């Protein structure tokens, strides 16, 4: 669709300028009149943006992330709170985005809203960017006439979620970096250093000790069959991904993850925090509890917890409480189910869920710090043991050669 740059007078008589998408100049003027803007200069611009071109080209190099959506949500909430109409607010955000690939989607949403579609329905046409959680909260906000408040809640929720994810990722950067360095260093020793030294042992034609034989065998395998290791690693990754697509194996893998010694409790805490915070913001936004439970089930990130939520959803549909089936599942910690029960009894479910989410966010941060502090010495010990084995395996035959010479 072509884009037209315009200069016009707004309802207060002030001169404004912008860009609007339309089929023709006449259509552009008609759209501006609908927004109560009197255009005196409309001309086609070369900056026309269409969803089919802008997204496919730009997103090859720039990905639209959750932070971009969060920023746009916060800006839209601010504009609506200031009293701007929805279409004008979307247009202002569109101009603010500049050459961002997200701009094409905002243009598409604005056009749908301008045609009479609700914001929630317009957003639902782009499920890759706007989740069911986002769309249903917007729909609830439109129904209640509190769209600006709901958008602020969505932005706050996204910011807290991103902050927690960034803390976990930043804490794991150092262990991941050290793991890569360790693998590269050992691979270099086995593939290049050991073969050079092994020539001396071969030429001496003496019997080699078991550690040296094992090291030479590992070196030959690393140098000659490194591609087998890469194929095996790739096969394992592909196999696990295919298994994760099936409900039965996915549930089994998830149970195994939750039973891991250190990482299991951390994964459970993150899933519980996500469950509590998402359910709190949905119920506080006016989304019906059954619908909220189904949405939470899809984003909790754990099949084990999702199965427990399914049972709780059926129980709530039958008139029972949420806390009882969650407690019976044995998946959720007792403190969580007790706080949910108190919230249901006192009518403060959203507040209790928020408290649970905040508490578990803090526990996740502490658990990540503890995990990193545990990983660092373990990695040092493992790396030291591998290097020590290599050194001993090389030195043993050298010592034996010296003894023979003496």
Give the Cβ contact number of residue 353 at 10 Å.
Answer: 25
pLDDT in tens, 180-207: 888 888 888 777 777 777 777 767 677 7
Q: Is the pLDDT of residue 116 over 70?
A: yes
> How far is the C-alpha of 198 from the C-alpha of 218, rounded, in Å?
12
Average pLDDT in the 230-247 region? Answer: 78
Instruction: Specify whether the CB–CB gap between 119 and 86 falls below 8 A.
Output: yes
1.10.3720.10, 3.40.190.10, 1.20.120.140, 1.20.81.30: CATH of 3-155: 1.20.81.30
The predicted pLDDT at position 45 comes to: 58
Fold adopted by 157-406: Receptor-associated Protein (1.20.81)
DSSP-derived pairing of the beta strands 15-21 and 38-45? unpaired
Instruction: Specify whether the CB–CB gap between 112 and 125 falls below 8 A.
Output: yes
In angstroms, how far is the first alpha carbon of the chain from the final one?
90
The predicted pLDDT at position 2 comes to: 61
The predicted pLDDT at position 129 comes to: 87
Q: Is the pLDDT of residue 19 over 70?
A: no
Instruction: Specify whether the CB–CB gap between 92 and 79 falls below 8 A.
Output: yes
Query: What long-range pairs does 310-319 form, CB within 8 A, spacing at least 24?
Result: 316/289, 316/290, 317/290
Same fold, 3-155 and 157-406: yes
Nearest 10 degrees: CA dihedral of 110, 114, 120, 122?
-60
pTM attached to this predicted model = 0.64
pLDDT in tens, 28-87: 778 777 777 787 777 775 444 444 444 444 444 457 888 889 999 999 999 998 888 888
Average pLDDT in the 18-24 region? Answer: 69
DSSP-derived pairing of the beta strands 3-9 and 38-45? antiparallel
Q: Give the chain's mean pLDDT.
A: 80
The predicted pLDDT at position 404 comes to: 56
- Going 321 to 323 to 324 to 328, the CA torsion angle's sign is positive
The predicted pLDDT at position 402 comes to: 65
Task: Name the burial class of residue 338, with classes exposed (0-12), middle (13-18) and buried (19+) by CB atoms within 10 angstroms of its CB.
Answer: middle
pLDDT in tens, 126-184: 888 888 888 888 888 888 788 888 888 888 888 888 887 787 777 778 778 888 888 88
Q: For tokens 């746009």, name the residue.
A: 72
pLDDT in tens, 318-359: 888 888 888 888 888 888 889 989 988 888 888 898 888 888
Give Cβ neighbours of residue 36 (< 8 Å, ≥ 6 apart).
10, 11
Average pLDDT in the 388-399 region? Answer: 82
Query: What long-range pairs does 282-287 form, CB within 8 A, spacing at least 24?
Result: 282/133, 282/136, 282/137, 283/349, 283/350, 283/353, 284/153, 284/350, 285/137, 285/140, 285/141, 285/150, 285/153, 286/140, 286/141, 286/143, 286/144, 287/136, 287/137, 287/140
Give Cβ neighbours of residue 1 (< 8 Å, ≥ 6 apart).
21, 22, 23, 48, 50, 111
Share of the chain above pLDDT 90, in %: 3
The predicted pLDDT at position 40 comes to: 75
Share of the chain above pLDDT 70, in %: 88
The predicted pLDDT at position 18 comes to: 66
Residue ranges covered by each domain of the chain: 3-155, 157-406
């Amino acid at each position: 669709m072509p884009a037209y740059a315009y200069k016009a007078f707004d309802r207060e008589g002030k001169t404004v300028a912008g860009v609007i998408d339309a089929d023709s100049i006449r259509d552009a003027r008609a759209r501006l009149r609908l927004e109560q803007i009197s255009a005196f200069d409309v001309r086609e611009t070369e900056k026309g943006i269409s969803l089919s071109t802008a997204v496919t080209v730009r997103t090859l190099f720039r990905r639209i992330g959750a932070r971009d959506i969060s920023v746009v949500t916060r800006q839209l909430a601010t504009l609506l709170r200031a009293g701007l109409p929805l279409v004008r607010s979307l247009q202002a955000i569109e101009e603010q985005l500049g050459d961002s690939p997200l701009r094409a989607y905002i243009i598409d949403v604005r056009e749908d809203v301008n045609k009479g579609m609700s914001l929630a329905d317009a957003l639902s046409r782009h499920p890759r960017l706007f989740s069911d959680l986002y769309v249903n909260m917007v729909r609830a906000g439109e129904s209640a006439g509190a769209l600006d408040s709901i958008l602020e809640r969505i932005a706050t929720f996204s910011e807290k979620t991103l902050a927690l994810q960034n803390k976990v990722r930043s804490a794991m950067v150092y262990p991941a970096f050290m793991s890569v360095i360790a693998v590269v260093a050992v691979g270099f020793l086995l593939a290049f250093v050991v073969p050079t030294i092994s020539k001396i042992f071969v030429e001496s034609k003496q019997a080699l000790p078991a550690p040296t034989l094992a090291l030479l065998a590992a070196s030959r395998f690393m140098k000659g069959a490194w591609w087998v290791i890469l194929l095996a690693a790739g096969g394992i990754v592909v196999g696990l991904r295919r298994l994760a697509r099936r409900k039965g194996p996915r549930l089994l893998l998830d149970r195994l993850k939750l039973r891991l010694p250190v990482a299991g409790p951390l994964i459970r805490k993150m899933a519980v925090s996500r469950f509590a915070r998402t359910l709190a913001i949905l119920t506080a936004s006016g989304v019906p509890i059954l619908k909220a439970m189904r949405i939470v089930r899809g984003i909790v990130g754990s099949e084990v917890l999702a199965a427990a939520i399914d049972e709780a959803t059926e129980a709530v549909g039958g008139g029972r409480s949420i806390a009882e089936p969650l407690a019976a599942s044995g998946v959720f910690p007792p403190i969580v189910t007790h706080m949910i029960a108190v919230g249901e009894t006192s009518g403060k479910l959203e507040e209790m869920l928020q408290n649970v989410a905040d508490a578990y966010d803090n526990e996740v941060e502490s658990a990540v710090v503890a995990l990193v502090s545990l990983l660092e010495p373990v990695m040092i010990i493992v790396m030291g043991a591998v290097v020590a084995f290599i050194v001993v395996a090389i030195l043993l035959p050298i010592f034996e050669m010296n003894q023979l010479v003496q």
